[in-house]
Every structure is written in C-alpha cells, then in structure tokens.
C-alpha cells in the first residue's frame, strides 16, 4: 500500500518536472552559447529565406546554404554555422516570433533590416564586414543599407523588372515590336485579344506581390509611393491616372480577370503556359518561363510608360544582417567575408537568376544576354520606401486592397491607402 | 501517512492540471497580454500600449463587415453540414449492398488534409485550366476559358459560396459519423412501439429519432461551430480573403493584421476567442445542453 502510494506520488511529481522542464527548456538554449570563449568552437545561428522553388527542389535554400557552409567550415573548423531556411511566406512572422521570445539568430538574411535598427539589435556593417568587401558594393545599394548615415544592412542580392512578351503570340496577332507607350500597349493588347489570347496582359494585383505591379504602373506615369522628400503620395494625381488607365484595360477584358485576386506565381505560370501575351517579370521569372511551353519563344523589353519606355524600374534588394545579442562579431565577419569573396554569389546567380550587388559580380555577368536588360536597369532603379516605419503597414494594405483600384474607384482606394500611410 | 493520503489525488490529477495550464491557459494569458503591448512588426516589444490596439482594431473600416461575414460563414457552414449529415447518417444507417464501401468513401474528405482539399478545389476552379470550368464550358455555361466568367474565385459573390461548399465538404464526414454513432444508440423497441401506434415515417423521425439523437447532434454541431469559426486553411489557400477583404473571416483578418501590427492582431485574437465563447454559450443555451431528454 505504502509503496504504491509513494510510487504514484513520485511518478506524478516526475511527470510534472518533465513537463515544466519542457516549458522552460528553450531559455537556456538561447543564452547558453552566448559566451563565445576565445579559441573554443562557436556556433553561429543563421536564418535565411528560401529562394528555391520548393524545399525538395534542386535549388532549395537548404541545399544551397549547406554547400556554402560546408566550404566555410572546412576552412574555419572552429566555427559552426547552423542555417535554418524558411520560406518567404513565413519568414517575417517567424523571425518576429523569435525576436519577441528573445531567441534572435546571429545572422539573418531576409527582405528588410530597417525595423531592427531603432531597437539597436544589429551590428553596424563595419563591425562585421571587411572594408575591401564594403568598397566593392554598388554605392546606391549600400546607401540603402544606412539609417541616419550608419550602415546596418548589407545588400545580399537584388533584382529588377522588365516586360516579358510572348514572341509567338505577338507574331500571331500581327504586332511588330513590344509596346513603348500606354497607347501602344492597349493597341497591342486589343490585337492579342482579337487573336484569341485569353490574357493579353498578365496583371497580378493579388496578395503575393501587388505592391510591385502597382509601383511599376505608378512609375509609368512619373508617380510613386513617395515623393523625392519622402512624403507619402499614394493617391497623387499621377498615380490615380495610372490606375484609371489600368482599370480601362481590365474593364475591356484585356488583362488577367479579377487582377486583385491573382498572385504573381499564378500569372507567371500562365505566361509560361503560353496563355499570357505580356507580363512584367524579373530575372527570377526566367527559370519558370524556361520550364514552360513558352521556353525560347519570349523576349524581354523595357516596361512601357505613358509616353515612352521607363527610364527606371522597380529594384528590389534583399539583405543580410548580424544581430549583436550573442556577441559573435569576429566569427560573423569571417563568414560574411568568406561569403562575398568566394563563389557563393555566383552560385546564387546561377541557381536563382538573382542579380549580384557588387561591382565585381555585375562585371562577371555582363555577357549574359537574358540578364542584360536587368543589369542595365539596376543603376537607375527605384525602390520601395521600405525604411519608412509605416511601410510595412502600407505594404500589407496594398497587398490586400489595391486590386479594388482597378475594379471600383481608383481615387478612393488609393486615398484609403494614403490614409493608412499618414495615420499615427 | 494520513496527510500524504490527502495529497494522493493531486499526484494523479497534477500532471493533467500542469498540462492544461501550460498548453491552454498560458497561451491565452500571453495572447491577452500581447494585445495590450506595442510590438513592432519585427517582434520587438516596445512596452505597454493601453487599449490603443483595440481602438485601432475597432476603427478599421473592414472590422465590422469581417465580423458579420464570420457569423454568416459559421451559420451557413454548420447549418448545411448538419442538414446534409442528418440525411447521410439516415441513409448509411440503412442496410444496402455496398454500404461498407460507401461508408469508407465518406471518410476520404475527412482523411485528406484540409489544405490539400482546398488547393485541389482551387485548381479545379482555375480560370485557364480548371476541370470545373472545362465542364462548364462544354455545357455552354461560359463562352471561353480564361475570362472573368470562368474566374469564380475572383469575385466575392461566387467565391464565398464555393468556400462554404468546400468547408461543408470537409465537415460532413465527421458530423455524419458522429450522428451515425448517435443513431446506433437508439434502441429498436422504441421504433417498434411507434409502428404499433401507427405513427407515420415523418412523425417517427420528428418525435423519436431527432430527440434521441440530440446529445450526438449537439456535440457534433458544437464542435463544428468552433472548428468552422477558427477555420483558416480553406479561405487562405483559395482566396487569401480577397478581393479586398471581401471573403475574409475574423481568423483571416487576424492573420493579415499580423503582417503589419502584432499587437492589433493579438487584439483581434482576443475578440475571436471571446466570439467563440459567446457563440458556444448561445448554442448551448438554444440546444438546452443540461436538460435531459424526456
């Protein structure tokens, strides 16, 4: 009897201990390796976004980073790099959860760095990157890595946009050359429609990347999200006019139907299948198109503006940054220098058709015919106002609602977004 | 020894209590706490925020439409699910050749992942290549593939019914099986007595089957109410709540908010949590949970 009783109590107690240990177990793990004793092995925790098609694809992020890390560890046996690759859909939310729980990684590679600067979570660039590497970065890009004159974000890769068109469909519709102005674009779309093309112009204004497509149309009319001084101008007359023009295309059935619900991925796949006449795309869409029916039958041209082809385009930069919480500056520096001076950046270009951010990298690519329009566009590219603290909220709103601007009243929809931008 | 004796129940109940505290109570407390904090999009806690998260949430132009839509969503999905399941359960309770296979087939939508089912329906509704649209074109219902007519998920008016359809499709198996189990508990002598008294088929169903089925029906419907209210994958994978927020329920709205304002998103979660409790309370009240079957 007694034994039973004590046994039961002990079992219960043990279970409780195990359970509570599970609950609190995460804390020491995060703080435990923060000492970083000199000479001893150090583990760098890294979180990176996945540029690959899917987790099992040949170009999966895990495979890419493993090859980089293996090389690095062979040269630096005392430093171990632990890479966690997260898909673009989830990385922001997962990183936010890590930060909220105090489990920040040492290195983070994602789409934005500026939100961490104000809270002093990041190393300055010159603490973790050699001057030789810094110097090789494209100046315009490096400047975007600065907040109040101090650099925190290190440009990782970039991309630019241009107009892809289906040569076969253009020929069938009797269009001699890609459109340069909005009038030409509409005329071309009408010819494509008459030739039986269901989506003359692919227009993804859905959740995935509505902010990009919108921005390209704004640029086409000399507009943009902000003016030169950084003031929000989402509902400027130029932008409203641009959306009125696009609405005209939508109403005439010349675009993807219900563009406000269509993701970039879907529309690009439709282009790859030969169902779309023209679409705005980037170097990263090349591998998708090459896998489809359209392979070898498409060409790239500058994006049409209201009165002539755009002299600028949307540039997107991704960033890599180092968190200062665990104090591994020296080890991070070794890893960054290794990354930028080795052949890793070349691998990114080969795998994902993303553009390099260093002068050296761009020179190496100048012979690539397909990438040339994008490389040419890079130096004069326009960027999202991502350093503005309101951008994330504005961006979320655009992704969800901007499709309404080509369905209902453009001035009202853009005005509502402007209100979010100006809100406290 | 006596004193230890008093503690014995605690040793047995203790682990369960700890488990509930850790897995249920603690997240709820954290959720409520977060809803009063100012959290940057990048997860940095910037201190207390009073009720500002709630003020902002209630001031969103889309908040009330979203809440109303959530209600429509729950009522429609649970309503259709229960009606269809009642009929199916009755059917599967009969003996007919191939009943075993039919019962197995009904499990399929339940056994498949909800996300997979939703994505498959999204593909079937694809305006360019979807099989449902190919059939509609061949039937002459739409002029051609790829146009706005073929794009049913692109407009709220046609997308929302499809979402409800998919939600009913995945909810029916569980509900049917719960009701089948309920039907199996009804003793056959009650039916014999009704037959002796000359009750009509409809009367038998209304006065015997339904009342005796009520415990099973209540549990099945209640679980559905909570499930459907919190349902995320169907809407997210098929429409992202778009166009605009016009197919978004409160769970989708909460997830979208998380991308820009974690505190406000937590406030939405608290509202959501409250709604589930209120809906459950109303439901139990209506179905007179405690009153025994006469």
Smallest CA–CA separation between B107 and chain A, in Å? 30
Report whether the peptide linkage leading into residue A26 is cis, meaning its omega lies within 30 degrees of zero. Answer: no
pLDDT at A203 over 90: yes
The Cα A120–Cα A243 span in angstroms is 39
Mean pLDDT of A224-230: 90
Q: How confident is the model at residue A424 (pLDDT cuts 50, 70, 90)?
A: low
Contacts of A416 in chain B (CB under 8 A): 61
Rg (CA), chain A: 25
Q: Are B211 and B293 in contact (CB under 8 A)?
A: yes
Angle at A83 between CA A78 and CA A86, to 5 degrees: 170
Residue A36 — φ and ψ, nearest 5°?
Answer: 55, 55
Question: Which candidate in B42, B61, B145 is best for mutational testing of the A interface (most A CBs within 10 A)?
Answer: B42
- Does B42 contact A96 at a Cβ distance shorter than 8 Å? yes
Sequence-distant (6+) residues with CB within 8 A of B99 are: B92
Q: How many whole angstroms separate alpha carbon A395 and alpha carbon B27?
A: 29
Other beta carbons less than 10 A from residue A3's beta carbon: 7
Per-residue confidence (pLDDT) for residue B8, from 0 to 100 = 83
Among A112-116, A253-257, B22-26, B161-165, the least confident range: A112-116
From the number of C-beta atoms within 10 Å of its C-beta (0-12, 13-18, 19+), residue B64 rates as exposed
Question: CB within 8 A of B246, min separation 6: which ones?
Answer: B156, B160
Cβ distance of A257 and B262 shorter than 8 Å: no
- For residue A32, give Cα distances in angstroms to A35, A302, B165, B173: 7, 53, 51, 49
DSSP state for residue B95 in the 8-state scheme:
-
Tokens read off for B45: 């806690």
Q: Are A79 and A335 in contact (CB under 8 A)?
A: yes
For chain A, how many residues are written?
Answer: 424
- A111/chain B closest Cα distance in angstroms: 12
**Across A188-197, A374-383, A387-396, which has the greatest mean pLDDT?**
A188-197
Collect all residues of chain B within an 8 Å Cβ-Cβ radius of residue A23: 22, 26
Closest CB from B22, B258, B261 relative to A93:
B258
Q: Is A209 on the interface with B (CB under 8 A)?
A: no
**Residue A19, helix vs strand vs coil:** helix
Residue B11 and residue A273: Cβ atoms within 8 Å? no
* Mean pLDDT for all residues in chain A: 85
For the segment A203-215, the average pLDDT, to the nearest whole number, is 92
The confidence score (pLDDT) of residue B77 equals: 96
What is the model's pLDDT at position A359? 83
Work out the minimum CA distance from B74 to partner chain A, whole angstroms: 23
Both structure tokens of B223: 């679980």
Mean pLDDT by 10 residues, chain B (294 residues): 76 90 91 89 81 89 92 94 94 88 88 92 91 90 81 90 95 93 90 88 88 89 90 92 90 88 91 90 76 51
- Comparing CA positions, the residue from B112, B134, B116, B117 lying closest to residue B125 is B134
Up-side HSE of residue B237: CA atoms within 13 Å toward CB? 18
Q: In A277-390, which ranges are continuous DSSP H helix?
A: 286-291, 329-341, 344-352, 359-365, 372-377
Residue A57: pLDDT band by 50, 70, 90 thresholds? confident
A363: distance to nearest CA of chain B, Å? Answer: 35
Q: Average the pLDDT over A376-389 and give the result.
A: 85
pTM of the model: 0.82
Residue A149 has pLDDT above 80, yes or no: yes
Contact A151, A267 (CB under 8 A): no
**pLDDT score for A14:** 47
CA B101 from chain centre, in angstroms, equals: 27
Q: Give B118 to chain A, closest Cα distance, Å.
A: 16
Residue A12's pLDDT is 47
Q: How far apart are CA B46 and CA A96, in angstroms?
A: 13
Contact B40, A389 (CB under 8 A): no
What is the model's pLDDT at position A32? 38
Q: Which residues of B188-225 are buried (b: 16+ CB within 10 A; e: fewer)?
A: eeeeeebeeeebeeeebeeebbeebbbebbbbbbbebb
Q: Are A358 and A156 in contact (CB under 8 A)?
A: no
Residue A321, pLDDT above cutoff 90: yes
Nearest CA to A82 out of A22, A30, A38, A124 is that of: A30
Contact status of A396 with chain B (Cβ, < 8 Å): yes
Residue A164 has pLDDT above 60, yes or no: yes
The predicted model gives A378-400 an average pLDDT of: 87
Classified as helix, coil or strand, A121 is coil
Nearest to A258 among B42, B243, B259 (CB): B243
CA distance A369 to A376: 11
pLDDT at B1: 60
Of A115, A258, A403, the CB nearest to B40: A115
A16 touching B, CB under 8 A? yes
Q: What's the pLDDT score for residue A118? A: 82
- Can you say how many angstroms the Cα of residue B245 is from the centroid of all Cα atoms in its chain? 19
Q: Using the beta-carbon criterion (under 8 Å), do A15 and B258 form an inter-chain contact?
A: no
Closest CA to B110 of B161, B159, B213, B180: B180
B30's CB contacts (< 8 A; 6+ apart) are none
How high is the pLDDT of residue A388? 85
A20 with B258: Cβ contact below 8 A: no
Residue A13 sits at the chain B interface (C-beta within 8 Å)? yes
CA-closest candidate to residue A278, choices A309, A246, A255: A255
């Amino acid at each position: 009897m007694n034994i039973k009783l004590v046994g039961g109590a002990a079992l219960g107690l043990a279970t409780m201990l195990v359970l509570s240990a599970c609950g609190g177990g995460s804390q020491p793990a995060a703080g435990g390796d923060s000492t970083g004793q000199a000479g001893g092995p150090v583990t760098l925790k890294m979180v990176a976004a996945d540029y690959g098609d899917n987790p099992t694809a040949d170009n999966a992020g895990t495979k890419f980073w493993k090859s980089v890390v293996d090389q690095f560890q062979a040269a630096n046996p005392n430093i171990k790099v632990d890479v966690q690759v997260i898909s673009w859909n989830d990385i922001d939310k997962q990183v936010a959860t890590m930060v909220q729980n105090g489990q920040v990684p040492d290195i983070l590679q994602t789409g934005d760095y500026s939100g961490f600067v104000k809270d002093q979570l990041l190393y300055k660039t010159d603490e973790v990157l050699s001057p030789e590497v810094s110097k090789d970065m494209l100046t315009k890009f490096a400047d975007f890595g600065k907040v109040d004159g101090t650099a925190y974000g290190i440009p990782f890769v970039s991309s630019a946009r241009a107009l892809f068109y289906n040569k076969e469909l253009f020929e069938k519709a009797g269009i001699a050359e890609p459109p340069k102005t909005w009038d030409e674009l509409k005329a071309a779309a009408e010819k494509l429609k008459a030739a039986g093309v269901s989506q003359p112009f692919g227009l993804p204004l859905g959740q995935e990347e509505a902010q990009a497509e919108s921005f390209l149309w704004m640029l086409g009319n000399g507009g943009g999200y902000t003016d030169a001084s950084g003031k929000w101008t989402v509902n400027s007359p130029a932008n409203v006019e641009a959306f009125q023009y696009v609405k005209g295309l939508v109403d005439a059935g010349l675009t993807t139907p219900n563009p406000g619900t269509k993701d970039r991925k879907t529309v690009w796949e439709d282009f790859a299948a030969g169902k779309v006449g023209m679409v705005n795309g980037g170097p990263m869409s090349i591998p998708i198109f090459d896998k489809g029916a359209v392979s070898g039958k498409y060409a790239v041209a500058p994006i049409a503006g209201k009165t002539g082809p755009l002299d600028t385009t949307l540039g997107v930069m991704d960033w890599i940054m180092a968190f200062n919480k665990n104090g591994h500056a020296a080890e991070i520096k070794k890893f960054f220098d290794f990354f930028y001076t080795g052949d890793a950046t070349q691998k990114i270009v080969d795998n994902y058709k993303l553009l390099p951010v260093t002068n050296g990298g761009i020179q190496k690519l100048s012979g690539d015919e397909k990438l040339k329009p994008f490389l040419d566009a890079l130096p004069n590219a326009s960027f999202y106002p991502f350093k503005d603290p309101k951008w994330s909220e504005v961006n979320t709103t655009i992704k969800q609602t901007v499709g309404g601007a080509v369905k209902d009243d453009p001035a009202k929809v853009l005005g509502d977004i402007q209100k979010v931008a100006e809100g406290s | 020894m006596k004193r230890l004796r008093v503690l014995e129940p605690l040793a047995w109940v203790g682990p369960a209590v700890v488990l509930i505290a850790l897995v249920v109570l603690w997240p709820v407390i954290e959720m409520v706490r977060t809803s009063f904090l100012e959290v940057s999009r990048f997860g940095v806690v910037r201190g207390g925020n009073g009720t500002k998260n709630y003020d902002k949430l209630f001031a969103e132009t889309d908040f009330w439409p979203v809440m109303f839509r959530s209600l429509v969503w729950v009522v429609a999905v649970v309503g259709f699910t229960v009606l269809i399941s009642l009929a199916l359960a009755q059917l599967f309770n009969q003996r007919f050749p191939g009943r075993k296979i039919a019962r197995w087939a009904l499990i399929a939508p339940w056994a498949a992942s909800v996300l997979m089912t939703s994505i498959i329906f999204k593909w079937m509704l694809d305006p360019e290549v979807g099989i449902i649209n190919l059939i509609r074109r061949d039937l002459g219902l739409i002029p051609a593939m790829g146009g706005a007519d073929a794009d049913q998920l692109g407009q709220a008016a046609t997308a929302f019914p499809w979402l409800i359809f998919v939600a009913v499709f995945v909810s029916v198996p569980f509900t049917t099986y719960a009701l089948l189990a309920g039907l199996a508990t009804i003793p056959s002598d009650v039916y014999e007595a009704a037959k002796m008294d000359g009750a009509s088929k409809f009367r038998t169903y209304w006065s015997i089957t339904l009342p005796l089925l009520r415990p099973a029906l209540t549990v099945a419907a209640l679980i559905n109410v909570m499930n459907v209210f919190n349902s995320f994958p169907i809407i997210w994978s098929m429409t992202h709540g778009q166009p605009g927020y016009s197919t978004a329920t409160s769970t989708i709205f909460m997830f979208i908010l998380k991308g820009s304002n974690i505190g406000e998103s937590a406030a939405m979660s608290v509202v959501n949590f409250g709604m589930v409790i209120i809906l459950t309370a109303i439901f139990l009240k209506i179905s007179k949970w405690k009153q025994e079957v006469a």
